[in-house]
Amino acid sequence: MPPLSTLPQSVGVLGLGVSVPERVLTNADLEKMVDTTDEWIISRTGIRERRIIEEGRAPSELGIEASWKALEEAGLSPTDIDTVIYCTFTPDYPMPPSACILQGKMGIPPCLAYDLNAACSGFIFGLQNAYGLVKSGVAKRVLVVGADCNSRFTDYKDRGTCVLFGDGAGAVVVGEVEEGRGILGNCAGTDGTGAFLIHQMSGGAVNPPSADNVEDQYIRMNGREVYKFAVGVFGPAVEQALDKAGLKIEEVDLLVPHQANIRIIESAMQRFGFSPENVVINIGEYGNTSAASIPLGLDTARQQGKLTAGTVCVLVAFGAGLTYGATVLRW
Ligand code: UT7
């Protein structure tokens, strides 16, 4: 372990990259597949279209593309990375871990590399893991990937879920940053009493995949209950992370929320008095991309000019598990 005096004061994002598939699935497309309407989807969720990975492509290809961009932006090469955290609940395979596939393909030297499954909270959990590893001197530069291809486990006959999900990936390199910048406060939590409110009942070791349980491999969700959970934890998660950072809500420039439902985001905006300029909303273009949602939000914020050096932002996510987390950082 390095001496305390050499441990980094401030840890944050050195580079960000994203990748989404080109194929677009619109609400009009879905109207032809299930009993739904563009009007219902937009008014109940805010989603207009989502990206769907092409057949035959592996989700890790998106993760790798995003990672190359994050490295390039950080001005680093694969040999500078000493830890890989690949956040996903849709890995390429149950085994090997996607982190290993990515590490091998990118030529990252042998290192700590693992998959982290916290569903839609995955990226926040991964970022917080990375922060702890760098802050404690265990790692120097951590590649955190959030990549999910929900479409591979979506039942396109189930209108309750198929309109919601999209595919994508994002990645950041986490390392030492200029003092006062980077991650300022974290909050994370799990409530396993709601573990089965979003689930895939087969494909795991309890119900191994078989010809009889194909339908059970799809994502199923009790939407109303998850909605209540999300609205309930959103505010306290933000407040706890701000408390750890020693900041007040008035000092926040930008909210980067998990994009699950526009109404959940709007309820948080109302609670905190945020105006649309201070919030990232890209659910219309991408839908719910699970672990990719937060990095895609950061990317959108940057494109919109909302995220520049020094911007104080709160990232907040919630999802299956049930899990939730928030991170405050100065960009
Ligand atoms: O990222 C992981 C976390 N996930 C979430 O945060 C999702 C949280 N939940 C939600 O966002 C919402 O609950 C949904 C968008 C999933 C559903 O919206 P809702 O307003 O809660 O609708 P509901 O499930 O209460 O259903 C209302 C009605 C039902 O019809 P009846 O029973 O009232 O006749 C549904 O059958 O809407 C119907 N419905 C649809 N109608 C048209 C459900 N899905 C659709 C659809 N098109 N796609």
Residues 168 and 192 in one domain: no
Question: pLDDT digits over 34-50, tens only?
Answer: 999 999 999 999 999 99
Distance from the CA of 126 to the center of ligand 1, in angstroms?
29
Distance from the CA of 29 to the center of ligand 1, in angstroms?
18
Residues 300 and 219 in one domain: yes
The count of other CB atoms within 10 Å of the CB of residue 285 is 17
Active site annotation includes 258: yes
What pLDDT sits at residue 77?
98
* Active-site residue (options: 87, 258, 282, 313): 258
Residues 187 and 297 in one domain: yes
- Find out whether 160 and 223 touch, Cβ atoms under 8 Å: yes
Residues 190 and 151 in one domain: no
Q: What average pLDDT does the chain have?
A: 97
Closest CA to 63 of 94, 89, 99: 99
What pLDDT sits at residue 147?
98
User: Ligand 1: which residue has its CA nearest to atom 41?
Assistant: 36
* pTM confidence score: 0.97
Active site annotation includes 100: no
Of 180, 200, 230, which residue sits at a domain end? Answer: 180
How far is it, in rounded angstroms, from Cα 59 to Cα 65? Answer: 10
Distance from the CA of 223 to the center of ligand 1, in angstroms?
6
Does 160 sit in the ligand 1 pocket, CB within 6 Å? yes
What pLDDT sits at residue 106?
98
Residues 166 and 27 in one domain: yes
Of 153, 180, 207, which residue sits at a domain end? Answer: 180
> Would you call 16 exposed, middle or buried from its count of C-beta atoms within 10 A (0-12, 13-18, 19+)?
buried
Residues 164 and 221 in one domain: no
What average pLDDT does this structure show over 151-177?
97
Residues 27 and 172 in one domain: yes
How confident is residue 6, by pLDDT bands cut at 50, 70 and 90?
confident
Distance from the CA of 320 to the center of ligand 1, in angstroms?
16
User: Ligand 1: which residue has its CA nearest to atom 44?
Assistant: 160
What average pLDDT does this structure show over 269-298?
97
Of 150, 180, 210, which residue sits at a domain end? Answer: 180
Residues 317 and 216 in one domain: yes
Question: pLDDT digits over 221-257, tens only?
Answer: 999 999 999 999 999 999 999 999 999 999 999 999 9
- Does residue 4 register a pLDDT over 80? no
Given the CA of residue 163, which atom of ligand 1 is nearest to it? 48
Given the CA of residue 159, which atom of ligand 1 is nearest to it? 48
Given the CA of residue 288, which atom of ligand 1 is nearest to it? 1
What average pLDDT does this structure show over 111-120?
98
What pLDDT sits at residue 30?
98
Closest CA to 90 of 33, 12, 169: 169
Distance from the CA of 224 to the center of ligand 1, in angstroms?
7
User: Ligand 1: which residue has its CA nearest to atom 42?
Assistant: 36
Residues 150 and 32 in one domain: yes
Residues 163 and 277 in one domain: no
Residues 224 and 118 in one domain: no
What average pLDDT does this structure show over 134-150?
98
Active site annotation includes 120: yes
- Does residue 5 register a pLDDT over 90? no
What average pLDDT does this structure show over 100-124?
98
3-state SS of the chain is: CCCHHHCCCCEEEEEEEEECCCCEEEHHHHHCCCCCCHHHHHHHHCCCEEECCCCCCCHHHHHHHHHHHHHHHHCCCHHHCCEEEEECCCCCCCCCCHHHHHHHHHCCCCCEEEEECCHHHHHHHHHHHHHHHHHCCCCCCEEEEEEEEHHHHCCCCCHHHHCCECEEEEEEEEEECCCCCEEEEEEEEECHHHHHHEECCCCCCCCCCCHHHHHHHCCEECHHHHHHHHHHHHHHHHHHHHHHHCCCHHHCCEEEECCCCHHHHHHHHHHHCCCHHHECCCHHHHCECHHHHHHHHHHHHHHCCCCCCCCEEEEEEEECCCEEEEEEEEC
Give the domain CATH number at 311. 3.40.47.10
Does 171 sit in the ligand 1 pocket, CB within 6 Å? no
> Would you call 8 exposed, middle or buried from its count of C-beta atoms within 10 A (0-12, 13-18, 19+)?
middle
Give the structural domain span for 121. 4-180
Percentage of residues of the chain with pLDDT beyond 70 = 99
Residues 235 and 116 in one domain: no
Percentage of residues of the chain with pLDDT beyond 90 = 98
The count of other CB atoms within 10 Å of the CB of residue 95 is 8
Question: pLDDT digits over 189-225, tens only?
Answer: 999 999 999 999 999 999 999 999 989 999 999 999 9
Number of domains into which the chain is organized: 2
The encoded tokens of residue 105 equal: 């393909």
Q: Which residues make beta-bridge pairs with 237?
A: none
How far is it, in rounded angstroms, from Cα 54 to Cα 149? Answer: 10
How confident is residue 1, by pLDDT bands cut at 50, 70 and 90?
low
How far is it, in rounded angstroms, from Cα 281 to Cα 267? Answer: 13
What pLDDT sits at residue 3?
72
